[in-house]
Amino acid sequence: MIRNFMVPKYVVPAIAGAGAAFFLFFGLWPLLDPMNFYEEVADFPPYNEHFLHDVGAFQIGLGLTLAIALFWRSDALLVALIGSGVAAALHVWAHVVDEDQGGSSGDTIFLGILAVLLLAGAAWQWTRSKAV
């Protein structure tokens, strides 16, 4: 049985804030400077710039989701749509800039449609929550 005990109000938001900072930092770094991230943190051969861009995109999505949740606590669906939509959009960006490293244009198109749908869903959810 889990006991209900008092935790100061600031503890859980502080954990979320620390998690957000961690994910945003370790997302921006491989997205913006994948070689440096590889040399300093993830020296697991072979070097794959596109994979590190993808890692950065998804880490940013996690960090952004936590950060937004700290301020927008009343709408979990909106927060999830924004975080996953931004991650999906950054994933599309990675496919575009890394086009010369393989993959197909069909992948990029499909991922782009997914990103647009997630972000459109966030916009619709936001306007719906504003109307209530």
Quickly list DSSP for 82-96. Answer: HHHHHHHHHHHHHHH
Asked if residue 48 belongs to a domain, the reply is: yes
pLDDT at 100: 86
Asked if residue 1 belongs to a domain, the reply is: no
As a 3-state breakdown, the chain gives helix, strand, coil percent values, each rounded to 5, of 80, 0, 20
Asked if residue 5 belongs to a domain, the reply is: no
Domain count, the chain: 1
pLDDT at 105: 80
For 54-88, write each residue's pLDDT tens digit.
Answer: 999 999 999 999 999 999 888 999 999 999 999 99
* For residues 32-57, average pLDDT: 95
What gap in Å lies between CA 59 and CA 48, rounded to an integer?
17
Asked if residue 106 belongs to a domain, the reply is: yes
* For residues 19-26, average pLDDT: 98
pLDDT at 6: 81
Residue 48 belongs to what domain range? 12-131
Residue 15 in this model has a pLDDT that exceeds 80: yes
Classified as helix, coil or strand, 25 is helix
Which residues, 6 or more positions from 83, have their beta carbon under 8 angstroms from its beta carbon? 61, 62, 64, 65, 66, 68
Tokens of 119: 């972000």
pLDDT band at 3 (very low <50, low <70, confident <90, very high): low
Asked if residue 126 belongs to a domain, the reply is: yes
Residue 1 in this model has a pLDDT that exceeds 60: no
Give the rounded distance of the alpha carbon of 130 from its chain centre: 24
DSSP state of 46: S
Q: Which of 101, 126, 1, 121 is nearest to 51 (CA)?
A: 101
For 87-127, write each residue's pLDDT tens digit.
Answer: 999 999 999 999 888 777 888 999 999 999 999 999 999 99
Asked if residue 112 belongs to a domain, the reply is: yes
State the chain's mean pLDDT as an integer: 92
Residue 51 in this model has a pLDDT that exceeds 60: yes
